DNA sequence: ACCTGAACACCGTTCAAGT
DNA sequence: ACCTGAACACCGTTCAAGT
């Protein structure tokens, strides 16, 4: 009984930066980066381009805002009942991001570019903080904070992007199973001399579970963190 | 005394897929992704768009080809005198990629998108193979091959992209030192309650050396690999 | 202060026509 | 087989004008 499907946005309701961002996210979710166009955006909001440019500087800023909005929702900075261990907390942050990218495939590319383009924005610090606090809580000595947190964040972004984009709708309409199967088969047909390893591992690619692998990778990096920076205090 | 600057390509020399890709890379290097346009490409090669479309299906394929070309040069599959240890070899592959992205900043985004868009291409297998062989040589048991190699590759792509794009010419004309300084300062001015960790680590961000950090991260992930998958045979 | 919508410069791509 | 170049559909953005 809520505002029924509103394809072209209930006439009035006043334009606002928030509504624009919201509509942009819907378009991105539906048709990827190519789906976000000022023409369809103005149609959806039933305005003209000028109205949007009043609230938003340009398309880049709109994409940044959409990214920040989604990341903020996926990675809460103040975890509610923090009865979880640092390790569990890190997995939670990572999974939050993983799932966000899974639900919004355009996020992967966006994160890759935006993170480096404008690290003054709120998204890099948010992710960094979410992971870093737990690295600190883990008892890693201060000298290892930056390296450890960076390694975790880089792994998470790389893996989440990779897996998730493969996942839901890299190209809308491709089934995950078929996709992995096709890649796996392609790997098996590589030159045996040049690609002995990749061929050997094609089967593991076909059978692997994204989420499981992703978390296994986190555990692996965490093992590296504690191996190289043995916790000084804390014992769990 | 070589072919002097050839701004608009010595008239003849016949068009070919290779020459097109070569020119595309030059444009990408000079002005980033926005610099590669069919108008300027045709001008540079002194032809019409139709000629290019004869050799290349579309812009996407051109970008993919440019990426493959650069990666192939940066990550040789058959390392010459392999007197190096697996660990050194992995660092070499990673540094190759790191440097490639440093010299061709557009590569970062391209790798992030292409790796997931078309893993049947030659670039994913190449990187995977380069790292994976050494994971195998390290004595990691077969059950750990896929997870370990994935973790390394994800870290490498994430970190290399991140660092390198920050590095040379994220936006042409921004000095690396000033850039890091600005970000570091921005981090120091974050809310002390919400961002205690990020603030604490701002100094380490300012002072860190890209390459050093990058390699430290690799060592960290490698430590995780050997911690979780203790080598069964091999002893170095 | 906020919105309209025609207009501008530019883009990737196509295709009939040439050689 | 390979190339030419005008034309098409579409894009982000601007801006004088309205309220």
Chain B residues near residue A166 by CB distance under 8 angstroms: 116, 119
Q: Are residues A112 and A227 in the same domain?
A: yes
Nearest to A114 by CA among A76, A71, A73: A71
For residues B166 and A3, which has the higher predicted lDDT (pLDDT)?
B166
Q: Is the dihedral of CA A68, A32, A182, B134 positive or negative?
A: negative
Measure CB to CB from residue B128 to each of A78, A198, A221 and give the nearest one.
Answer: A198
Distance in Å from C6's C1' to B44's CA comes to 35
Domain with residue B105: its CATH number is 1.10.357.10
- B196 contact residues in A (CB cutoff 8 A): 129, 133
For chain A, give the percent of residues with pLDDT over 90: 66
In this prediction, residues A170-189 reach a mean pLDDT of: 77
Do B25 and B114 reside in the same domain of the chain?
no
Please tell me which residue of chain A has the smallest CA distance to B169: A117
Give the per-residue pLDDT at B196: 95
Query: Is residue B76 a part of any domain in this protein?
Result: no
Inter-chain contact B219–A228, Cβ cutoff 8 Å? yes
Interchain CB contacts (distance < 8 Å): A and B: 197
Name the closest nucleotide to B59, judged by C1' and CA. Answer: C12
Query: How would residue A173 be classed by pLDDT, with cut points 50, 70 and 90?
Result: low
Residue A192 and residue A122 share a domain: yes
Q: Is the pLDDT of residue B172 over 60?
A: no
**DSSP for B146-203, written as a single string:** HHHHHHHHHHHHHHHHHHHHHHS-SSTT--HHHHHHHHHHHHHTS-TTTTHHHHHHHH
Lowest mean pLDDT among A158-167, A177-186, A219-228, B148-157: A158-167
Is residue A158 within 8 Å of residue B155, measured between CB atoms?
Answer: yes
Least Cα distance to B172 among B34, B8, B25, B20 occurs for: B34
Same structural domain, A149 and A204 = yes
d(CA A9, CA A3): 9
pLDDT of residue B21: 98
Measured distance CA(B196)–CA(B188) in Å, rounded: 9
User: Is the same domain home to A104 and A8?
Assistant: no
Determine the pLDDT at residue A14: 85
Helices (H), chain A: 17-31, 38-45, 49-55, 59-74, 86-103, 106-117, 123-137, 145-167, 176-188, 196-200, 202-207, 210-228
Among B63, B72, B112, the residue to mutate for chain A (most A Cβ within 10 A): B112
Which nucleotides in chain D lie closer than 7 A to a protein CB?
2-7, 10-17
- Write out the two tokens for B200: 């604490």
Examine the domain organization and report whether A51 and A87 are in the same domain: no
Among A140-149, A170-179, B106-115, the least confident range: A170-179
Contacts of A195 in chain B (CB under 8 A): 125, 129
Amino acid A67 CA to nucleotide D19 C1' distance, rounded Å:
34
The answer to which of A135-139, A147-151, A205-209, B197-201 has the lowest mean pLDDT is A205-209
pLDDT at A2: 35
Q: What is the pLDDT of residues B177-220, one digit of tens each?
A: 787 888 899 999 999 999 999 999 999 999 998 889 999 999 99
Shortest CA to C1' contact from B39: nucleotide: C11
Chosen domain end from A56, A71, A98: A56
Residue nearest to nucleotide D16 (CA to C1'): A50
**Of A104, A204, A213, A196, which Cα lies nearest the Cα of A156?**
A213
Q: Which residue has the higher pLDDT, A181 or B6?
A: A181
How close is the nearest chain A Cα to the Cα of B236, in Å?
19
Q: Is residue A72 part of a domain?
A: no
How far apart, in Å, are the Cα atoms of A95 and each of A107, A214, B97? Answer: 14, 9, 27
- Which bases of chain C are under 7 A from a protein CB atom? 2-7, 10-17
Minimal C-alpha gap between A4 and chain B (Å) = 35
Distance from the Cα of B184 to chain A's closest Cα (Å) equals: 9
Per-chain mean pLDDT for chain A: 86
Do A161 and B112 make contact, defined as CB atoms within 8 angstroms?
Answer: yes
pLDDT at position B235: 45
**A24 in the same domain as A86:** no
DSSP state of B120: T
For A178, the 3-state DSSP assignment is: helix
Q: Which residue has the tokens 């190096």?
A: B84
Residues B122 and B194 grouped into a single domain: yes
* A137: nearest CA partner in chain B: B197
Q: What is the sign of the dihedral through the CA atoms of B9, B19, B55 and B127?
A: negative
Least confident segment among A94-98, A174-178, B67-71, B166-170: B166-170
Nucleotide nearest to A59 (CA to C1'): D12
Q: Which residues contact A3 (CB under 8 A, 6 or more apart)?
A: A10
**In the numeric block, which tokens belong to residue A213?**
């692998």
Identify which of B103, B12, B114 has the alpha carbon closest to the alpha carbon of residue B62. B114
Tokens of B96: 């190759």
Domain tally for chain B? 2
pLDDT score recorded for residue A172: 53
Among A92-106, A125-139, B101-115, B129-143, the range scoring the smallest mean pLDDT is: B101-115
Do B46 and B101 reside in the same domain of the chain? no
Q: Is residue B64 part of a domain?
A: no
Is B45 in the same domain as B117?
A: no
What's the pLDDT at A95?
A: 93
Q: How many other CB atoms are found less than 10 A from the CB of residue A174? A: 13
* Chain B residues lying within 8 Å of A198, measured CB to CB: 125, 128-129, 132
Q: Is residue B75 part of a domain?
A: no
Q: Do residues A50 and A167 both lie within one domain?
A: no
The per-residue pLDDT for range B38-57, each reduced to its tens digit, is 999 999 999 999 999 999 99
pTM for the whole thing? 0.89
- What residues in A contact B183, CB-CB < 8 Å? 119-120
Give the range among A74-83, B27-36, B141-150 with minimum mean pLDDT.
A74-83
Q: Is residue B63 part of a domain?
A: no
pLDDT band at B132 (very low <50, low <70, confident <90, very high): very high
Q: Is the pLDDT of residue A5 over 60?
A: no
Residue B129 in any domain: the answer is: yes
Token couple for B91: 């660092």
Region A132-148: what's the mean pLDDT?
Answer: 96
Give dist(CA A192, CA B233) in Å, integer: 24
Check A166 against B195: CB less than 8 A apart. no
Own/partner pairs, B73-81, CB within 8 angstroms, 24+ separation: B73/B100, B74/B99, B74/B100, B75/B100, B75/B126, B75/B127, B75/B130, B77/A194, B77/B126, B77/B129, B77/B130, B78/A194
Residue A174 banded pLDDT, cuts 50, 70, 90:
low
Expressed as residue numbers, the domain containing A166 is 81-234
Residue A71 lies in a domain: no
Say if B114 falls within a structural domain: yes
Q: Are residues B143 and B216 in the same domain?
A: yes
In this structure, what CATH number is given to the domain that contains residue A9?
1.10.10.60
Rounded to whole angstroms, the Cα distance separating B202 from B184 reads: 5
Q: Do B198 and A128 touch (CB under 8 A)?
A: yes
Spatial separation of the C-alpha atoms in residues A170 and A159, rounded to whole Å:
15
List CB contacts of A9: < 8 A, sequence separation 6 or more.
A19, A23, A44, A45, A46
Cα torsion for B50, B56, B59, B64, to the nearest 10°?
-170
């Amino acid at each position: 009984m809520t505002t029924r499907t509103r394809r072209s946005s209930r006439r009035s309701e006043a334009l606002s930066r928030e509504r624009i961002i919201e509509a942009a996210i819907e378009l991105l979710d539906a048709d990827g980066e190519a789906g976000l166009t000022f023409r369809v955006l103005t149609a959806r909001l039933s305005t003209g381009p000028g109205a949007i440019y009043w609230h938003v500087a340009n398309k880049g800023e709109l994409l940044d805002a959409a990214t920040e909005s989604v990341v903020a929702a996926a990675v809460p900075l103040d975890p509610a009942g923090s009865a979880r261990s640092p390790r569990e907390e890190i997995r939670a942050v990572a999974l939050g991001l993983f799932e966000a990218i899974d639900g919004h495939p355009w996020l992967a590319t966006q994160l890759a570019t935006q993170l480096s383009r404008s690290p003054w924005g709120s998204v890099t610090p948010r992710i960094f903080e979410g992971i870093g606090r737990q690295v600190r809580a883990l008892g890693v000595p201060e000298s290892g904070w930056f390296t450890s947190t960076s390694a975790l964040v880089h792994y998470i972004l790389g893996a989440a992007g990779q897996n998730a984009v493969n996942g839901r709708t890299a190209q809308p309409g491709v089934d995950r199973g078929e996709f992995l199967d096709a890649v796996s088969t392609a790997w098996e047909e590589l030159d045996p001399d040049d690609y002995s390893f990749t061929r050997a591992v094609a089967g593991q690619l076909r059978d692997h579970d994204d989420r499981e692998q992703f978390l296994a990778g986190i555990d692996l990096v965490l093992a590296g963190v504690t191996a190289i920076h043995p916790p000084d205090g804390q014992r769990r």
